[in-house]
Each structure stands twice: as C-alpha cells, then as structure tokens.
C-alpha cells in the first residue's frame, strides 16, 4: 500500500454543518487523522438535515452527514463545560490543525478563540471558517451560507432572467467554496510551519471566497474602471447563438457553438440541413439575431436523439456542447464509475450506499473515503480512554454529567 499524502497530520474538528466538516473531510481523504467533536446527544446539525431514506429522520442516516464525514472519528464532548474544555485542550496538545466554523464570539466565550490558546499551542494552525470572517460588523451575525452568498452580489449576477427576480442558487455554495479556501491555505500554513516554524490562524470568510471566485473576475475590474458590471442573463447568451438549453428525447442539452468552426461542426453533427447553409450564419452575432428561427430548427433535430447521443455526436465534431445530466444520471455514469469517483460504501445504519471519491487524485496516493462516516460518539472509548488515559471511573462520571 502507498503512504497517504497527509499521513501523520492530526486534525481536530470543532464544527458542524458543511464548511468545517467538508474542510476536515478533504484532509481525511488524503490520510490525515481527524477527530470530530460533536455535541452529546444531538451531534452535528447535519445529522438532522438529511436527506433521509424514506424521509424518516434518523441521527445515523443523514445523507449530508454521511458524505461530509467519512474517514473521521466521532467523539461527543461539551466544550462549554470546564471539564469539557479541559479535555478539548488535552486533545489540542497532539493536534496540528484545528478546524472550526463557530461564531468568533462563541469561541471567545468558550475560551477557545485563537488569542486565548495561541500562547499555549504556538505551533497550532487554526482554520476558522465563517460566513463573514473574524472582523467587521457582520462578524457578530449568526450568518448562514445564504447570507454569505448574497453579500457578494453573486445572487444578482447569476441565476434568473434580467427582467425578473433572481432565482435561488444551489445549496451551500459559499460553505463549500469557503471550505476549499481553508483547505488550500491550511496546507500552505502547514508547509510554512515546517519551513520556518510557528502556527497561525486562517481567517476564512465564505462571502469573500465567493466574491473572489464567482463575481470578481468579470465584475470588479469593470466596475472599478467604468462603473459597469455584468448581470444575470437567464438561459443562454443573448449576443451569440446557438448558446442555450434545448429539449431532447430524454431531457435537455446545453448547445453552444460560437466560432465558425464550431458552427460548421454542429451543422455536420445535425446532418448538414439545408437551412443551416446560409452564409450569413457563419457569424455568431447574425445567428443571435435569428436565434428563434435557429432554435426551432435545432429542436426538430434534438428531439430525435437522447442527450447522450447528442453529446457523443457533437463531441465527434468538435462542438463544446453537453448533456444536462440529472443526479441519477451522474450517480450511474460509467465515466465517473471507472475513475472511482462514484462507488459503493458500507455503513452500519444505511447499508450499501453510493459515495463520492476524492476530486483530485494523486498518482502515488489517490485519496478518498475509506471508512464510512462514524456513528455519534463511536470513538469515545478510543479517544478518551486510550488516547487521553481517562480511567473507567472518571469516564463514567463524565458520561453521567453529560460532558461526553
């Protein structure tokens, strides 16, 4: 067996929901040892969000929790108590990276904010992921992914028609992008610590991560230069054609062919229909002016084929169009299965269930989930009795008091 890329890195996760758990999950995917701290009794909030089999809520059957927490150990610990905090600090003694997504004021109330623990743990790297960051007037808000996403103008820029209200974006986008920002710079901080020594806190704002990635590239420069910015366009591109979503025999396809070569490739894929041979259609702007006509003709063709058949034939002709795959399509897609990205995993409560592998594969240590998400407090005995050497008597007392 190959050595995992992050083997030997010890991570402690004090978070719930999506951002901190996903950040810690990626560390664990590549071999880091991750201990997840959950609330006694109720656990991570994602355990209550589902989706659940047959829509029946169950602490151990949340699909969201299952996906975000593979490879981890779960312990239950109430850090708001003095004894719980003391145990948490003991765990920090052998921790390289602490990942948390609590309100800055909450961490300070617990006495676990970076300022309170930095002197005691000078080599500790703390990745703090919050909707708005550790400073600024919104840092005190109990913000969510929704607040973070829309603070960035991404809601105005994307999803919806320009003359109608914006549409809701996909769930947890800001949390996931914030988590990936934390992962990237957390690894950089680990490298920096090994290079020159010393830990540090990473102040990750999910809103600012979305602003930099979603809206920054095409909007900030233009607004700074001449006060203009891009806004949502609905389906397709109004100044070019074909560039829209069209129906087909079993769903939808995203049809796009902007350059002359792409247009000729699409014509060939469609069997070179006579209507498409007009020379003026070699110009994408002219095609845009005649989009209604072109799309109606194209639909006559797309409705005769499946989305996979269309994707295959346009690919053969150099056209960057695609099938619009559903979740069911993706879960059973042969390409993703062959790469090992979609695979079956066993879970004691869920049975055999599909999971996703690591999105980035390393040649010598590919990474990805090996163990299913833990049951609530599954590793209490291992961590408290074996790692922290707590006696059976003290362990029972802590359990009785609700500390663990």
Domain carrying residue 272: 243-328
Closest by CA to 314, choosing from 238, 236, 248, is 248
Other CB atoms closer than 10 Å to residue 353's CB: what's the count? Answer: 16
pLDDT of residue 1: 47
pLDDT of residue 13: 98
Closest by CA to 47, choosing from 26, 57, 62, is 62
Q: Is 94 in the same domain as 204? A: yes
| Domain edge (last residue) among 305, 328, 351 | 328
Indicate whether 1 belongs to any domain.
Answer: no
How many domains is the chain built from?
Answer: 2
Question: Could you give the CA distance from residue 188 to residue 184 in angstroms, rounded to a whole number?
Answer: 6
pLDDT of residue 217: 61
Show Cβ contacts of residue 64 under 8 Å, excluding neighbours closer than 6 positions.
Answer: 18, 46, 49, 50, 51
pLDDT of residue 279: 86
197-217 residue pLDDT tens:
999 999 999 999 998 887 766
Task: List helix spans (H) across 56-103.
Answer: 63-68, 82-92
| 55 touches 139 (CB < 8 A) | no
Please give the biggest Cα pair distance in the chain. 87
Show Cβ contacts of residue 128 under 8 Å, excluding neighbours closer than 6 positions.
Answer: 100, 101, 104, 107, 114, 134, 201, 202, 203, 204
Q: Is 301 in the same domain as 161? A: no
Confidence of residue 368 (pLDDT cuts 50, 70, 90): very high
19-46 residue pLDDT tens:
999 999 999 999 999 999 999 999 999 9
53-62 residue pLDDT tens:
999 999 999 9
List the CATH number of the domain containing 277: 3.30.1540.10
Handedness of CA 180, 106, 116, 98 (dihedral sign): negative
Name the token pair of 150.
Answer: 């829309």
List the CATH number of the domain containing 196: 3.40.50.10540
Q: Is 194 in the same domain as 298? A: no
Question: Could you give the CA distance from residue 164 to residue 167 in angstroms, rounded to a whole number?
Answer: 9
């Amino acid at each position: 067996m190959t050595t995992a890329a992050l083997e030997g890195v010890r991570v402690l996760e004090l978070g719930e929901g999506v951002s901190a758990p996903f950040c810690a999950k990626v560390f664990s995917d590549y071999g880091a040892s991750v201990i997840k701290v959950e609330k006694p009794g109720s656990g991570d909030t994602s355990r209550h969000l589902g989706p659940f089999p047959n829509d029946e809520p169950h602490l151990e059957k949340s699909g969201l929790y299952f996906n975000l927490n593979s490879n981890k150990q779960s312990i239950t610990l109430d850090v708001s108590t003095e004894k719980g905090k003391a145990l948490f600090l003991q765990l920090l003694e052998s921790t390289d990276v602490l990942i948390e997504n609590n309100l800055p004021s909450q961490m300070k109330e617990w006495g676990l904010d970076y300022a309170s623990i930095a002197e005691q743990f000078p080599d500790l790297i703390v990745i703090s992921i919050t909707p708005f960051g550790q400073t600024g007037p919104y840092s005190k808000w109990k913000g969510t992914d929704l607040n973070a996403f829309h603070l960035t103008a991404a809601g105005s820029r994307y999803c919806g028609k320009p003359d109608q209200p914006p549409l809701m974006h996909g769930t947890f986008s800001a949390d996931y992008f914030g988590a990936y920002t934390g992962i990237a710079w957390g690894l950089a901080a680990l490298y920096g610590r090994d290079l020159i020594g010393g830990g540090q806190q990473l102040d990750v704002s999910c809103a600012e991560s979305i602003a930099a990635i979603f809206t920054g590239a095409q909007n900030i420069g233009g607004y700074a230069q001449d006060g203009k910015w891009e806004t949502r366009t609905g389906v397709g591109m109004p100044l070019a054609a074909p560039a829209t979503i069209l129906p087909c025999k079993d769903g939808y396809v995203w049809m796009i062919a902007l350059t002359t070569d792409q247009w000729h490739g699409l014509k060939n894929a469609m069997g070179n229909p006579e209507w498409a041979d007009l020379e003026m259609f070699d110009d994408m702007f002219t095609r845009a002016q005649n989009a209604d006509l072109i799309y109606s003709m194209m639909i006559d063709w797309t409705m005769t084929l499946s989305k996979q058949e269309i994707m295959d034939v346009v690919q053969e002709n150099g056209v960057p169009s695609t099938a619009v795959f559903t979740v069911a399509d993706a879960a059973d897609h042969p390409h993703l299965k062959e790469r090992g990205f979609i695979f079956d995993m066993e879970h004691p409560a869920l049975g055999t269930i599909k999971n996703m592998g690591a999105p980035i594969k390393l040649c010598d240590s590919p990474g990805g989930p090996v163990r299913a998400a833990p049951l609530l407090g599954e590793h209490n005995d291992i961590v408290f009795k074996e790692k922290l050497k707590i006696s059976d008597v003290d362990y029972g007392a802590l359990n009785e008091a609700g500390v663990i």
